[in-house]
Amino acid sequence: MGLIVCAAIALMSAAANACTRLIYETGNKTFLVARSMDWMEDPKTDLWAFPKGMKRDGGLGTGSITWTAKYGSVVASFYGVATVDGMNDAGLVANTLYLGESDYGDAKASGKPLISVGAWTQYALDNFATVDQAVDALSKEPFAIVAPALPDGNAAGGHLSLADATGDSAIFEYLNGKLMIHHSPKYTVMTNSPTFDEQLAISAYWKNIDGLSFLPGTINSPDRFVRISWSLNAAPKEKDERLAVATTFSLIRSISVPLGLSEAGKPNIAGTIWRSVSDISAKRYYFESAYSPSIFWVDIYKLKLAAGDKPSHLDLNGHPIYSGDVSGKFLPAEPFKFLSN
């Protein structure tokens, strides 16, 4: 057995993580971004509408970075302390997935303004319209990330993916205290461990295998990366908007994990709690809870996202059954506070 094959198998057996993100291109050369949120318990996700003009900070008190939101956004929260998913009114989509290898370095020793890992995704949505803009600005490392433990006691480590209306894509990972950026429209799939460069190496090996005859089948992260990459390339590029959304949902469902599945001692391998699809062209954010039998969506154009508007939120506590357009159901609310010590 060759060295590459051995390495691929070793990585697949060693990695056990959750969540998947993909970018689907339609026949009209527009793009939809889907992600699954896999976790060992319900992370109490709500949807929020944050207007442009909001005064923000990194959530860590004195020394935190501050900014004013240039763009409005609809986002999904995580335990009420982090933004982990969403799209802004310029069409930038952000998805943060768990990454056990994350190491943000010694933030206090950096001498830079601080930002909670819970605010990282929101910072991108508030400040950038395109992936190029984000890569240019974030590569200068304007802040140092602090990652306190999550409310459930688990480590808060993740990598951030961005996509825009052109299909451009970038993935940001902090490894051994250093920022790694993978920037290319070719990067249409992201899962979790191992790190993205190693995922690409595994995927390159599997490109030589006939996917109609055999694909790796476990719920481990590298296997999911390979399977969804093959499915994404095989899926037809639909021109009809409804079919395009349906195809994107079918892809992310196909790689999801059964609800309730968990493994003792591995909090990051678990069932799919919810899925989202961001239709960048239509500026529509779709959401599907594994606890509910239907899909609902938010039209960004219908939200109050102008400067001076108040933040609002859609309470998903208790898993209410929503269907169709819920843009009018958002109610004014004080924004959640980002994860802190």
Task: Give the three-class secondary structure for 266.
Answer: strand
156-160, 227-231, 257-261, 272-276: range with lowest mean pLDDT: 257-261
Of the candidates 19, 117, 144, 314, the residue annotated as catalytic is: 19
Q: What is the pLDDT of residue 211?
A: 64
What's the pLDDT at 215? 74
Residues 50-64: what's their mean pLDDT?
96
* pLDDT value, residue 264: 66
Residue 197 pLDDT > 90: no
Q: How far is it, in rounded angstroms, from Cα 105 to Cα 273?
A: 30
Q: Are strands 266-270 and 114-116 parallel, antiparallel or unpaired?
A: unpaired
User: How far is 185 from 163, CA to CA, in rounded Å?
Assistant: 8
DSSP, residue by residue, 48-92: EEE-TT-EEE-SSSTTB-EEE-SS-EEEEEETTTEEEEEEETTS-
Of the candidate ranges 11-20, 87-96, 127-136, 295-304, the one whose mean pLDDT is the lowest: 11-20
Residue 209 confidence (pLDDT):
65
Q: What is the set of domains in the chain, with CATH numbers?
A: 3-332 (3.60.60.10)
In whole angstroms, what is the distance from residue 229 CA to residue 54 CA? 38
- The tens digit of pLDDT for each residue in 311-339 reads 999 999 999 999 999 999 999 999 999 98
Give yes or no: 6 in active site.
no
Q: Which residue has the higher pLDDT, 104 or 261?
A: 104
Q: Average pLDDT over the chain, rounded to whole?
A: 89
How confident is the model at residue 84, as a pLDDT?
Answer: 97
The one-letter code for the residue type at 176 is N
| pTM over 0.85, yes/no | yes
Check residue 3 and give its pLDDT: 34
